[in-house]
Structure 1
């Protein structure tokens, strides 16, 4: 599928926005003012951007512990996200959730879960509600290869396929669950192949190629909206940082530095920038303009967060029940 230049610029901007925000987190996290652990998606930005491009504002998205990018590409407010990092009352979870529990219901971002695979049944539940209501909304649920180890994935996918639910399963396969390699955990080599066992559609795609992800998501979204049921997208990618925090995990001995370096050569943001410049979609000046706009938004978000109030003791007793 040949993409319109407007779509190409939107995809690039979406990825770059996530990348620059998380690079600022890496820069400022050592100051130790952020009140939570952070799981960064640097290196994986193409997946969320490519899938979210096919989601309407009232469609649903569910994510996992590595969900900053998913929150942003779905339209979540950056100020509220950063304020949540700092544990402020202006955060998207009022400073109570932290990095792993972010939400913006106004744009269909229905939350992230720190439980491995925890968002999968919720995404299927939202799709079931859409099916019953006949409202035309679809759900996308993001998870890592570690969630493929959990029984809830199979239970949820079976139910979604059985009921032809409008849901897209997106596995961001970065080949590691914390410090455990995929080869040490999975007998098969392709997660996407498991969809065939449910008479469903599985697609394996280069997760560092945003247009490849975009095209796979286009097919999955069309299937969901036309009553053809779920699609499992396996996007092959690699996280640049350690499982948690702004550093690396080489000291754990679970992955060689050369492996990371090889994947960094396939950077989704840099590679797409090169393509857009070589094809004349943007030039260096336009790229700088995009970066400057994003940088100003990020600076504003951090200034807003740092100047926002911390929760009080009385706030401990709020939001305990939903009436």
Structure 2
């Protein structure tokens, strides 16, 4: 093995690959399972965007909080939520992390700092301002990160939250996962700026735009912003220009995409393949180690699906529990 040219140790690189591969296999399997008709509700897949969640979340601890989106499985996995609990939740089973009551768009795990996926566009931004304010008052160096897409970036709640975070100098990071489409509307059509960094500038926030398919670019930019936030530097915005391999939701015909666009993205902009090529090419990780992780992840996802299908549904008596907070 050659010297490691990367800013991460070999163990950290292996962990990053394992997380990205877990997200990918989870989503690819859901694509198959949903088509069989066994999963209730809507499903929005994160495949193609794995480098964003993984590169950012590697800098966080369980005490840091994140607010996710309707496309939240990748954020959950990268933040440490158990795959078995997530799969059971998506199947609507009692063993799910929200006891089968939330489903795909509402997975949460507060003990891991995962405040929840969210079916309301842009809703995570004001929530994370609250988390950032709490961390600031505690003085524990904790931060909050809100993820949103290029469509939600036009929501008033997001813009108002940027302003609030700037005024209160909150330890918050706004992450735009720009995959080029707000459901079926292109960024070029719906957004009057070339980069969301311009939005940050309008509120006095520093902003950086990176290639979201480049794990190392995401990891480096997020690390600087997170360190700044932890030490009182205030909020910032990170735009990750990425791609999604599937439609906006499962069942989306994707007629708004050019012919062959998905195939071209998989061939040349697959963040996992780009990562694997770099680390194996540098001689830091071997092909055998990559294959071993792939095999282990496939078994893990298979076990999660088997357990979810066998798990019981929530009991009727549980219908009204968890509806209101009890203080």
Q: Shorter chain as normaliser: what TM range?
A: over 0.9
Match of 2:220 among 177, 202, 215: 215
Match of 2:280 among 261, 277, 280: 277
1:127 aligns with 132
Kindly report which structure 2 residues correspond to 1:85-96, keeping only aligned pairs within 5 A, or say none: 85-96=90-101
Structure 2: gaps of 5 or more residues? 1-5
CA distance in 2 between partners of 1:27 and 1:313 (Å): 29
Is the alpha carbon distance of 1:296 and 1:5 closer, same or farther for their aligned partners in structure 2, counting shifts above 3 Å?
Answer: same
Q: Which of 172, 183, 202 is the matching residue for 1:167? A: 172
Give the C-alpha shift of residue 248 in structure 1.
5.4
Query: Which residue is equivalent to 1:206?
Result: 211
- Partner SS state of residue 110, structure 1: coil
The equivalent residue for 1:290 is: 293
Partner of 2:306: 303
Tell me the distance in 1 between the aligned counterparts of 2:167 and 2:127: 16
Corresponding residue number in structure 1 for 2:157: 152
- Note the C-alpha offset of 1:302: 1.2
Say yes or no: does 1:255 pair with 2:257.
yes
> 2:237 — aligned with what?
232
* Counterpart residue number, 2:3: none
Asked whether 1:321 is paired with 2:327, we answer: no
Q: Deviations over 1:68-111 (max 9, x none)?
A: 00000000011110001111011111111110000111111111
Query: Among residues 186, 199, 208, which one is paired with 1:194 in the alignment?
Result: 199
CA distance in 1, matches of 2:270, 2:296: 22
Per-residue deviation at 1:51?
0.3
Which segment drifts farther, 123-132 or 3-12? 3-12
CA contact (8 A) 1:241 1:249 kept: no
Q: Shift of the alpha carbon at 1:186?
A: 0.7
Question: What number of residue pairs does the alignment pair up?
Answer: 320
CA offset digits 1:141-199 (Å, max 9, x no partner): 11101111111111100111111111111110011111111111111110122111122
Q: Do residues 83 (structure 1) and 88 (structure 2) align?
A: yes
1:71 aligns with 2:71: no
**What corresponds to 1:8 in structure 2?**
13
Task: Report if aligned partners of 1:243, 1:249 keep a CA contact under 8 Å in 2.
Answer: no
CA RMSD of aligned residues (A): 1.3
SS for the counterpart of 1:232 is strand
- SS of the residue 1:109 aligns to: coil
Unaligned runs of 5+ in 1: none
Q: Residue by residue, what CA displacement relative to the aligned partner does 1:220-277 show, whole Å, maximum 9, x if unpaired?
A: 10111010111100000111111101x5533xx3111333233222100111111111
Give the secondary-structure state (helix, strand or coil) at the position aligned to 1:112: coil
Q: 2-side partners of 1:218 and 1:86: how far apart? A: 35
Q: TM-score, normalised by structure 2?
A: 0.95
Residues 109-124 of structure 1: pairs in structure 2 closer than 5 A: 109-124=114-129
How far 1:3 sits from its partner (Å)? Answer: 3.0
Contact 2:23-2:77 within 8 A present in 1 as well: yes
CA distance, structure 2, for counterparts of residue 193 and residue 9 of structure 1: 35
C-alpha distance in 1 between matches for 2:76 and 2:7: 27
Partner Cα distance (1:320, 1:271) in 2? 44
